Structures are given as C-alpha cells and as structure tokens.
Chains A and B, each alone.
Chain A
C-alpha cells in the first residue's frame, strides 16, 4: 500500500520538524508549508491525504485556510486536523463549523495525534461525511 501523504501547515519550523519526524516514524510521507498561502497552494498541487493546520500564522490565518480548502471542489474532501496553541472553545466551534474533522491543542499527546490521524484516514470516514453532507444540503 502507498504511503499516505500528510501536509503540515504551521509557521514554527522547529515544531514542524518534530511533528514531521513523528509522522515519518509512523510511516507517513510528510509535506510542509510555513504559512497559509503556501499551504493552500501546496494542498491544491500535491493533493495530500490529510492536512495538519495551525491557527496563528502570518499571511493567512488558519481559519481562512480551512475555509478556502473546504470551499474548493478540489480540496474539500481532504480531512483537516487543527493543531494549535489557541485552544479556545470559540476557535474549536469555528473550526468545526468551517468543516474541519478534528481539533487538537498544543502541547499534544503523540499517541492521540497518531490515533486521530488514523481515524481521519479510515476509508469509511470520508464516505460517512459525504453522506451526512448530502443530507444536510437537501
């Protein structure tokens, strides 16, 4: 089976590096983007299987990145996991409203992060979401 591609969008290079090592050790291919604009274009070009997204970033705020990705017909099916230090209830609610799949806060438990990624990548997860979306649209 092909390795799954994960895109990390975060403006902290050191943090991106440790997450990258963690994910690579767990068998993922990792792409990185250090700001929102780069992240959105990389998501369009590389079609990752999953995106890990920070909120507080220069150029383009995480919520705007999420909105842009979830509104685009090319990227809306890619699951998004927020991973942020800004863990307020409002941000969490907004993230889910914008269509994100999961919301985790820094500092994170590596075990929880890996499980969450796995859950988001389960073949059923997207289909289920698609059906739910259909129902909501009707």
Chain B
C-alpha cells in the first residue's frame, strides 16, 4: 500500500522502455498498450535479438528493460544474466510465455524486479509493473548507498569499533579493528572478544563488558599493550524492554593523551622540586632575621616578617600538595605499608597540633580507643590524612570551639573521624568537597588559607588503602569528616606484600625469594597440643625469624590462617636464599633446644624463587601450595591469633 502512494506521486515524465522480444506481434501489443496510457508517456524501443538489445543498452538511455528470456540467440536465465551484466543498475522485468515459478524465483534472486506471464498482461498491470520496478530499483539503490555510506563511515573511524551480542561474540567490526588485531574480517566476526584480544576464553578481571552486563551502564577500562595505552569502553545496547542485547565496544588509542598527562605531571613535579631550594633559602633567611639571630629587630619589623613567614609556609604546603597530587595522577605515589598501631599514630598526630589548638583556644576531645589490633597501612600517608582533616577543622572552628578525634574499632574496619563545632559546610558544597581546588565560603585568619588539595589527596590515599571517606555537616553547627580503613586478613596482607614485592622485583629486574616455614607434622601436633601451644610456638618462630633477618627490606608474614610463616627476601637469588634458610634452621634449632620446645614438633623449610621457580604471582602461590600443602586443607586449625 505504501508503494502505491509513492508511485502516484511520481511525475509523469517520459519513461524509456527497452523491449527485447523476438515476437514482433507481441512487441506491437505492448507498444499499443503503453501508448494508450493517459497519465504517463512511454518511449518504447524494441529489439528482436539479445545482441541487438545489448547494443541498444550501450547506445541509448533506458529507464527499464522488458525482457523475454527466450530469444533466438539466448535462452533461459542466461538471457537475464547477460542483460544484468551489461546494465546492473537498470530495473529488469522478465516476460515468459508460461507460468514458471522456479524460473521466476531464480530471476528475482538474481535481481529481476518483476516477472510477467505474457498472456496475462493487460495495460494496467504492465504500467504498474514498470513503475514499481523503477521505484523499487531506486529504493534498492538508496538502501545500498546508505549501507555503503555507513560502512565507509564505520571504516573511516580511527578508533576500533565493534558490535557484540550478549554472549560477547563480535557481530560487526570496522577496519581499524582488523588492523588492531592484525586479522581479517572473517577471522574476527563471530569470535568472542576476550578470546581475540586477551587470548583467553574467560573474561579477565575488570572486563568492562562483564561490568556493563551487570550495571547496564557504559563502562570503561584503561589498558596498556606493547607500550601503547588504550581506553576500552562498552556502551550497552538495550531492546525496547530494557533487556541487554549486546554492546558497542570502542577501543581508543590514548597514548598521546597519556604522554601529555605524564608530561604535565612531570612538569609539576620538576617545578615543585626546583621551587623547594629557593623557598628554603627564603624561609631560613627570614627566620634568621625574625628570631634575632642576626641582631635585634623592632616589633613592627617582626610583625611584618611573621606575615611573610606565614605565607612562605603556605607556599611550602602548596608545593608539597602539588607534588603529592602529581604523584597520585601518574600512579607514582606508592604506599609503604606495614603493621601499624593506629591508636598510637593518632595520638602522635594529635600532639603535633597542641600549640595550634592552644593558641586558638580550641578544646580537644580525645576519643581514641586504645588496644586496637594493628592495621596494615602506610603510617606516613595515614598521618598525612589525619593532619589534613584536623588542620581543616582548626581552620574553620572559631575560638572556644571544640574538635573531637574519634578512633573506633569494628570487625572489618577502623573508623577515624574528626568533628568540629565550626561553621559547617552548605549542602550544595558537600558534593564538590573532595574536588581539587574547591574552597568556599570561608573567612580566613592570617596564613590560614589552605591549598585546596588536602581533601582530594586524602581521599585518594584512603581509597588506595581500600577505605572510604565521607562528610556529615550542618551549617553553623559543625562538620564531621570520617574515613575508614579496612582490616585485612593475614592472607590478604601476605598477598599484598607479595604483590608489592614482585612488582618491584619485575621493575628492577632482580630476583625475589621466599623462605617458607611450616610445622611438618601439624596433623599429629594439633592432636597432642592445644591450639594456643602451637600458636605460641609459631609466634616465637616468627619473631625469631624476624630477628634472624638482617635487612630492612626483608619481610616476615603469615599465610594460610597463620600456619605458614613466609619470609619475603627482596633482591635475593636462590643460592643466597638457601643460605638464609640454613641460618634460620640453625637459629630455630638452637632456640628449640634452649627453650625446651617439644621434640615432636618439626619444622619444614623450603625456598621458592622468582623467576627461577615461578614466573608470576599465581605460579608462586601455586608453588607454595604444591610443595608445602601435600595434605591439602583450608580449614582453620590453629586458633588464637592476630598477626605480627
């Protein structure tokens, strides 16, 4: 129905018909039929033989071909093929004497627009067939052009693009993807994305497609591949009911952006370093005058120098924050984690504010819980966060106000919060609180302005520890900033030590050895002795090993619920590790003898070295399990223990 309206709108221009028909009588019939049509004009050229018809096609302009398949010089579908080959863009209507469905279907398949049986043709049918044929051909061309246009556009995009179905199979991809993978289209279409890009049938950790499948939101990940950086994003394709039918994968080369970003951060880092030396000269020079070392000064001179000093201090803080920020941005800020008493650390940070609090007449409430089990954190960085939070509170709390530092212990985490009775933060400013350089609505005392980087840096540091940071505030009443630090299990701590150590070993291209120590006959031992006894022996052994190791970089950790003691020896080759093992064994035996440990507790010691025995962390872990876990068990056998 829709076609009819399009046809009727066509202008009645001259339609040039080429009729290839060997029966002159029938040609005449057609000619007469077309002449009688009132709302259209036809110009009919007729040829009796195929060869003449083909010649006419070459010489004349034609809009449509009426073709008898049975001609003196050609018969059957061959006739169609030959005409179509000469004029692929022309609509062709096939004429036959008898109804032949098979032939009709074949012709349609090959591109014929219509099929008419000669003795069933009347003027109306013929005109309609001609007009539809021309129009259909025109639309076909349009579709083809559109498809071609889309294909050219798709291939013209330099980012790698592909459409994938919900099973992560690639339905379509552009040329950039064939270059990216060094594969042809046929090698890509129908294959799974993970298999092609990562060479595994299982999707890797953090695969954006897997995340998108869960969230139904666009997801992205940045990966490095042979020196280049890529941003890989997946946008969901949803059907009308919101069901996921697939996704659009875009892989963009962001190496340039990364380089520029790195250059920016390096520039900041270098400039900051360069600024430090003149700054320290200015700072010390002023101090020498200010404190009278170079001779007495007047009160108003001293006052001016105090202002200068305050601003130099502020500049110094800003430079430090800029340095931290640039390190965070380039991923060069490394955590140096160790087992830390958070209560003691908090008290230490608090004491550094003693004078400032006294000068501003701010009361301090100490709600630090004692005897919190040690946390595995970077003490310098966490005290930096606490210093930032307390410093902020002091800035925004008027005289005679109160600041509370609370350290709370929960099962899986420790929460540290700094509350004040300051001016508070307006609701609309809370969202941007952790953004860079956000400072608002504050009245500053002398030298009190912050850098605007303290909170974003704090946030990054807390998140690098796997914690969270948040704010609760009421304007005029005060604010509470809280951050959490997760309590890692012994195994998680060991894995963290191992990951960090291995990364460094790979970076510096040096070996790393593990000395693995466990109770050989533990099944028997735990039947004879209590958990507490076994644990005490493991604890003593661990402490003994820690004392035996001499270098600062050596780490003693526990694994598998504390049953295995593992010494991580940085930059230690296998033969050196073997001599360390011999030393440990000797020390332990002496200790056993002196302390009179039960004789049936035997220790088993071995050495695993990267890269000799294992090429990566998984292999290293497997090696530990393989060599030392013969009677495989994962149940908790030895209780009674925190960690060292």
8 contacts between A and B (CB under 8 A): A12-B281, A18-B284, A18-B285, A25-B288, A85-B280, A107-B276, A107-B284, A110-B287
Residue A86, interface by CB 8 Å: yes
Instruction: Please tell me which one of the listed residues A14, A21, A106, A136 contacts residue B294 in the complex, with CB atoms under 8 A apart.
Output: A21
Interface residues in chain A, defined as those with a beta carbon under 8 Å from any beta carbon in chain B: 12, 14-15, 18-19, 21-22, 25, 85-86, 89, 93, 96, 105-108, 110, 136
B120 at the interface (CB under 8 A from A): no
Besides A18-B285, A18-B288, 13 other CB < 8 A contacts? A12-B277, A15-B277, A15-B284, A18-B284, A21-B288, A22-B288, A85-B280, A89-B334, A89-B336, A107-B280, A107-B312, A110-B287, A136-B550
Q: Is the CB of A85 within 8 A of B288?
A: no
**B286 (CB) vs chain A CBs: closest residue:** A18
> Which residues on the A side are within 8 Å of B334 (C-beta)?
89
User: B311: which A residues are within 8 A, CB to CB?
Assistant: none
| Cα distance, A107 to B273, chains bound together (Å) | 10
| Nearest CB of chain B from residue A14's CB, rounded to whole Å | 5
Contact assessment for A18 and B550 in the assembled complex, using a CB-CB cutoff below 8 Å: no
Tell me the residues in window 277-316 of chain B with beta carbons closer than 8 Å to chain A beta carbons: 277-281, 283-285, 287-288, 293-294, 312, 316
Q: Report how far A19 CA is from B283 CA in the complex, Å.
A: 11
When A22-B293, A89-B334, A136-B550 are in contact, do A108 and B288 touch as well, CB less than 8 Å? no
The interface residues of chain B lying within 8 Å CB-to-CB of A96 are 552
Closest 8 A-B residue pairs measured CB to CB?
A: A107-B280, A85-B276, A106-B280, A18-B284, A25-B293, A15-B281, A107-B283, A14-B281
Closest partner residue, chain B, to A14 (CB atom): B281
Chain A residues with CB under 8 A of B280: 15, 85, 106-108
Decide if the interface of chain B is mainly helix, strand, loop or mixed.
helix
Chain A residues, CB < 8 A from B273: 85-86
Does the CB pair B276–A106 fall under 8 Å? Answer: yes
- On chain B, the residues within 8 Å of A19 by CB distance are 284
- Which chain B residue shows the least CB distance to A19? B284
**Complex Cα spacing A114 to B77, Å:** 105
Q: In the complex, which of the residues B273, B276, B277, B283 has the most CB atoms of chain A within 10 Å of its own CB atom? A: B277
A49 to chain B: closest CB distance in Å? 21
- Known contacts A22-B293, A107-B316; A85 and B284 CB within 8 A of each other: no
B residues in contact with A86, CB < 8 Å: 273
Q: Considering residues A22, A86, A105, A136, which has the most beta carbons from chain B within 10 angstroms of its beta carbon?
A: A22
Interface centre among B274, B284, B336, B550 (most CB of A within 10 A): B284
| A107 with B293, Cβ < 8 A, contacts A18-B285, A18-B288, A89-B336 known | no
Residues of B within 8 A of A21 (CB): 288, 293-294
- Determine whether the beta carbon of B288 is less than 8 Å from that of A106: no
Inside 8 A of B284's CB, which chain A residues have their CB? Answer: 15, 18-19, 22, 107-108, 110
Of B274, B283, B294, B550, the most chain A CB neighbours within 10 A belong to: B283
The contact string, 1 if C-beta is below 8 Å from chain A, for chain B 330-352, is 00001010000000000000000
User: Complex: how many Å from CA A106 to CA B274?
Assistant: 11
Whether A107 contacts B279 by the Cβ 8 Å rule is yes
Query: Which residues from 471 to 521 on chain B have a C-beta closer than 8 Å to any C-beta of chain A?
Result: none
